[in-house]
Every structure is written in structure tokens, then in C-alpha cells.
Structure 1
Amino acid sequence: MSRKYSQDLAQNFIFVSWDQRNCGKSQTDTTVALTPGLYVEDAHVVTQFLQKQYHRNKIFVVGHSWGSLIGVNLVQKYPQDYAAYIGMGQLVNPGKSEMLARNHVVQQATLRKDTATLAALAKIPLSADGTYLNGLDDLLKFRMLSDKYLTSSEVAELPNPMTLCPDYQALDWMTPVMRTYKLLSSYMDGGKVNLLKQNAFQLPVYFIVGKYDYATSAELAQQYFAAIKAPKKQLFLFEHSGHQPSWEEPALFQARLRQIAAANEVK
């Protein structure tokens, strides 16, 4: 997808997309316990490689969705290595985000008298802290049931990414999800992740928020942004995007990145 929608960025940036440990084409290591902290350290190793390879003191970090959790922790721990943090599909509190998405679906299904969806939702209850009894299985069931209510005609329909990248086979996409979800969900469940408590940054912070993002609540992202204390901060609301602004409004996304880079020029 980055090849399709972000090619033009290569004219202005050294554009690096990272397959994290045990994902995509990165080496699989089953001997190490996967934790968010480990991914943060891995990301910093990648940073050090890029600094040395391309003779840069600081780099820009774009963290998307799960990557935005890693990104926040990365730049808060090693602020000296980064020019700015750009959060897109910013994860704040996974449990609360899931509850907000579910409440929206229930509200819309009730308005439309969609009794079939309401009955199916009743079979996959969500706990008070926003977790599902059967974890990934229930989450996938909810996504399949709710997709029609968590999209908007204002958002461009995207192609299947698996059809765009011959380098990746189906197993490259699904195996990491199945392998890592159970290990990492224990860190995400029960309100353990709440970035509202991590609102202090020592570098510029930018949020790119899709108006129709229900995967990582746009409402929560804006609440978090309001609480952030940083030398400089700015939020860009993408009016025709959901969870993937870089693909759903690629020209605007690229323009915003150039704007951010120009405002934070580094050597």
C-alpha cells in the first residue's frame, strides 16, 4: 500500500517502512518474549542504523495504529534522536476505543431496527474494561458484524493490500497476527494501556486523525491531543478518512508531511 500511495514521498524523504520483529519479512524469533518494550528497543536499534547509514542526527517517526503505541513510548524514551512524532490512527486506550465503537454500532443498528446484528452482538459481550472473553476470535466476529456501520461513504474504498505487494504472501500477513496477538493482548487488555497518562513530550507532536476512525477512536485521539504538553503540537483532521488517512487521502497526507518537515528542518 505504501508503494501505491506514498511513492511521491520518496522524492522528498528517505522513506523507511519497518516490518517489526516476527512480522512480514523480518526474522522470526520464537525464543524471545514479545512485549511492547521489546518493540520500542527494536525500533531504537532501527533508528540508530538509519542515523549511521544516512548520516542523520534526527529522524521523523510516523506511528500508525499499534505502531503509534510503540511510537509514543519510543520518542518519550529517546527524544534526542527524533525531529518530531507523527501519530496517525493514534491508539490511546484500546478498551475504551472498543467500547465507543461498539456503542456506535449498537446505536446505528437500533436506529435501523437491525435485530439480526443486535442479536449477534449479544452473543459476543464486551466486558466493562473493553475486552472480549474469547479475545481475537470475538474481536474478528465483531469486526465482521460491524463493518457496515464503521465505514462511511465519505471515505474512499481501498484495494486489498495483499493484491498490491508480490513480496508478501498470505502467510506473511496472517501468521504474525495469530502468533503475536495472544502474547501482546495481555498488555492491552483491562485498561492497562492508557496514553492519557503519558502526555509529556520533549519534541514536536503532530496527530493525523481520520474523522471516521472507529478502529482507534478519533474522539479519544482528540482528547489525548488536547492533554499533550509539547514544545510544539498540531492536529490535522482528515474529513474524508477513517483509520488509514495516508491511503484514503494520500495527496493531503503527503502535503502534511512536507509541511511538518519544513517546520522542523533537521540535518
Structure 2
Amino acid sequence: MKIVWLGCLILALTSTHASAQQPADAAAYKKAKEVVRDLERIVAPSGIQESYKTGIGGIDQWLNVRGQDQANPIILFIHGGPASPLTPTIWQFQRPLEEYFTVVNWDQRGAGKTYGEAYGEADPQAIGDSIHIPRYVDDAIEVAEYVRKRYHKKKIILMGHSWGTVIGMSAALKRPDLFYAYVGIGQVISTRENERISFEYALQQAKAHDNAPALKELESIAPYPGDQPITRERIIVARKWPQFYGGLSAFRDTSTYYFDAPLLSPEYDEADIRAIDQGSLLTLDKILPEFVNVDFSNVHAFPIPVVMFMGRHDYTTPTSPTAAWLDQVRAPYKQGVWFEHSAHMIPWEEPGKTLVSLLKYVRPLAEGAN
């Protein structure tokens, strides 16, 4: 099976997600998962560890809340995909963040536990017609309002990754009163410009490595994106080779560590894992026509502090449009942070610098949170 991260979109191409396959030694995996579960337990009396569903946008949606001290500022972390929940991967990178922040991960409509096939909360066919960017934005705002009230916070920090930056930036623009700051990781500014840069990078690398199969596939869709529609078939080819040349995870041609992370997640059982691919198939075609038209380049004023984490080697959502946007935007505070050893997967690739950067540039913006 091959999974391709499509700019912000994950597409299951030919089979099930690798992490959904039955492991060869189920008992060993179960034992390993219990070790992770024990390590992940929040035992501090001041801490919080909750996973629950709540009504958001007319359906039940799942939240995961973790932190060592409830007095800390809250981060609402909006995942990518659009159906690629962070919850089954947070065991890989999030624990250090939990010492300084309470982190809320939300399985969006059509994603992970909220997909609902295993639980019955959200019939996939029933929510199919609601798979539109404005609905996701309104869901994010509703989640933010709910979290703020439940945990008695004046405001929260909003952070998005990949596809989640489309939702996050839109939510911040629509309801700035809810947020201390917005943090974009793998930010999308212009989908078409991202696609052009990513394709050019792949073509350059294929030529440099004399990769005839890659050149043949890339030239079959050239010029890309050009004036033609960005179809499912074209974007599959366009995403494949930049990722192979380290544009998803820097200096790696695969990202198995990420795609197989749910195998050891204490938060996800087998049905939840299967729902990752099922949600991807449900949402991809529905959201693609809207996603390819995303363009924030004409946003010249941002209402709240904005911080962009940019992977130097990111050719999944290339960083040059983000850096250019940040240079020209007017905001109460703005900061760009370059991650020299990362591509698109910054929290996984440079978790230490992720924490240090959040403490240096973001936590001070959450005034009155302590």
C-alpha cells in the first residue's frame, strides 16, 4: 500500500493504511502499547488527561486533552489531512509540550474517532454533504468556544498543521477574540503556488538523480499545475516525488514512523485505525475542489499575533510563500521560525526546537493564562 500526502491531503491509493494491517505478533504489539500507555499517564495532581465526545456542528466529535498543570495555557492543535488525526501520533512528540501547555487535539468531522463507524456517533453518509471548508472553520470555532468555557480560560492558543492551517487561519480571521495567537506549521498560503514549487523541486531532483521513472511520470502532467484543473490523478503524481526526495520528512524517502504510529497508540483501537483511511476516502474528493482554490495571499492584515514554523526542506507545503506572506502582513506581533532539519513534519522531526520555540515566541503571548 502507498500513502501519499497531498499537500495537506492524505490519499490511500491502493489498499488499507499500513497501520491498519494486523501485526504479525499481535501480543507483542499489545504489550508494547501498554508500555506507551503507562508512560503517557498524567499522574500529577494538577494535571488533566481526558478523551471524550461532545456535540460540535450538529454531530458528536472527539477531543483529547492532556497536560501536567491545568493552570497552563491551552493549545488547540488542528490536525492535517483533512482526515489525518493527530491523536494516534501524539505519543511520539507531545509529552514535553504537556509540561508547559494543556494540549487539545480534536478529531475533525470525517476523521478518526469522529468518523464514527465504530461508535455510531456520526454516520459517514449523513455527514458527507457537510464536508466543506466553511463547515470545518465553524466547527473549529465551536470547539474553541467549548474548550475555553469548559477549562475556564479567557482565550486559547490556536495551532494548525498542514490542512489544519487552512481551518486555523480562517478561524483566527473570523473569530480573533477567542485566541491569544495563531501558530502555523506547514502553512498553506496558496495551494496552486505550493503545487508549482513542489513540482519544480521534484523535477529538479529527478533530473539531478537521473531518475527516469520519476521524470516520465512528472513530464506526463507537465506543465503543472499550469492552466489545467488540479485533479486527483495529477496531484497524486505531483505529490509522490517531492515526498520521495525528502519534501515530507527531511532526508528521508519514506515516513513510516508517522504512518505506522497508530500501531502503538493507547488512544486508538483497530477500528479507530481503520477509520483513518475510511475518513480519508470519504473526505478527499469532497474537499479537493475547494482546497485547490485556497489562497490567503491577499490577506494583508492579521488580527492577532501570528507565528509561523517553517521547515527548510518542506516541499509538501513549500515555505517560500509563507515567508513572503509573513514579510508583508501587518499584525500585532509576527514571527517566523525556521527549522533547518525539518521538512513538513516539524513536531516529529525537531520536537526540541518545537518546544523551545513555543516557549520563546508563543507562551508569553498568552497573557493572564498563568
Shift of 1:205: 0.5
Q: Are residues 1:21 and 2:103 paired?
A: no
Distance 1:5 1:121 in 2: 34
Q: Are residues 1:183 and 2:302 paired?
A: no
Distance 1:14 1:255 in 2: 16
Which residue of the partner structure matches residue 212 of structure 2? 115
Unpaired segments ≥5 residues, structure 2: 1-88, 117-121
Alignment partner of 1:80 out of 177, 196, 216: 177
Which residue of the partner structure matches residue 335 of structure 2? 234
Distance 1:143 1:241 in 2: 17
Which residue of the partner structure matches residue 244 of structure 2? 148
Which residue of the partner structure matches residue 96 of structure 2? 8
Q: Against the structure 1 CA distance between its residues 256 and 130, is the aligned structure 2 distance closer, same or farther, given a 3 Å change threshold?
A: farther
SS of 2:96's equivalent in the other structure is: helix
Shift of 1:204: 0.6
- By percentage of residues, which structure has more strand? 2
Does the 8 Å CA contact 1:154/1:240 hold for their aligned counterparts? no
Greater CA radius of gyration, 1 or 2?
2
Shift of 1:109: 1.4
Shift of 1:254: 0.9
| 1:194-225 CA distance string (max 9 Å, x none) | 11112321111000001111111111111111
Distance 2:254 2:363 in 1: 26
Q: What letter is aligned with 1:148?
A: F
Question: Which shows bigger deviation, 28-37 or 73-82?
Answer: 28-37
Alignment of 1:7-86 (within 5 A): 7-26=95-114, 27=116, 28-29=122-123, 30-31=125-126, 32-86=129-183
Q: Aligned residue pairs: how many?
A: 263
Q: What letter is aligned with 2:278?
A: T
Q: Are residues 1:172 and 2:272 paired?
A: no
> Superposition RMSD on alpha carbons, in Å?
2.2
Question: Which shows bigger deviation, 175-184 or 27-36?
Answer: 27-36
Does the 8 Å CA contact 2:243/2:316 hold for their aligned counterparts? no
Unpaired segments ≥5 residues, structure 1: none
Shift of 1:52: 1.1
Q: What letter is aligned with 2:146?
A: F
Distance 1:155 1:70 in 2: 28
Paired-residue identity, %: 27
Shift of 1:111: 2.4
Shift of 1:89: 0.4
State the TM-score, normalizing by the size of structure 1.
0.90
Which residue of the partner structure matches residue 265 of structure 1? 367
Alignment partner of 2:230 out of 101, 125, 132: 132
Alignment of 1:194-205 (within 5 A): 194-205=295-306
Q: Against the structure 1 CA distance between its residues 232 and 200, is the aligned structure 2 distance closer, same or farther, given a 3 Å change threshold?
A: same
Distance 2:330 2:252 in 1: 32
Does the 8 Å CA contact 1:58/1:266 hold for their aligned counterparts? no
Q: Against the structure 1 CA distance between its residues 252 and 131, is the aligned structure 2 distance closer, same or farther, given a 3 Å change threshold?
A: farther
Distance 2:96 2:187 in 1: 24
Shift of 1:158: 6.2
